[in-house]
Amino acid sequence: MRDHDEDDLSGPLADALPLLRELPDVRAEWRAGVLREAAQSGRLARRVSVSLPWAIAAGLMCAMAGGGGVFLATRDRAATRPMTAVADSHASPALLPVRFSVVAPQAGRVSIVGDFNHWNPTTLPMRRSADGQTWEVEIKVPVGRYSYAFLIDGAFAPDPAAPRGSGDDFGRPNSVLMVRGS
């Protein structure tokens, strides 16, 4: 309890506060006996000093262990990406063109977000077509299964022309894109 809160106390609590702040009387023989026992059993705190080279070595070991943990965490995350490689694992994956379009005549800004661009709303802006009603973009992606959605003036919207996927962790509806090679 802080000192400035004392004004809020009344009754028995206000009477108990000075008693709680008093240090109890401890007999000198008892205190000496406790200190003697602690000294004999070696339980007194001892100061440990480490030379500078050992301290640097310990710090480097901690940094290496932390870096290893980050490496393992990102390696496992990269392995779970939904992209499927083509049959030849030594060749780079074939990129296939996919055209997206959505009718949003009142929209001021439309982009597409999904597994293929890490859900980044700035990397794939869509362009308004000549009819003024439809927004379009063509991208190239490797063979695989992707979840995606349109971002229309900041609001997520599924693709009405595509199968629905399960919602994401935030309850937003997603669409599913299957890219198959020949």
106 and 75 in contact (C-beta within 8 Å)? Answer: no
67's CB contacts (< 8 A; 6+ apart) are none
Position 153 scores a pLDDT of 94
**Percentage, residues of the chain above pLDDT 90:** 25
pLDDT in tens, 22-64: 777 778 887 788 778 777 776 555 566 777 787 787 777 777 7
Full DSSP string of 144-175: EEEEEEEEETTEEE--TTS-EE---TTS--EE
Instruction: Please tell me which residue, 70 or 161, carries the higher pLDDT value.
Output: 161
- Strand, coil or helix: what is 118? coil
Q: Is the predicted pLDDT of residue 76 greater than 60, yes or no?
A: no
Among 75, 73, 74, 94, residue whose Cα is nearest residue 83: 94
Rg (Cα) of the chain, in Å, rounded?
Answer: 33
Instruction: Please tell me which residue, 77 or 156, carries the higher pLDDT value.
Output: 156
Instruction: Please tell me which residue, 121 or 24, carries the higher pLDDT value.
Output: 121
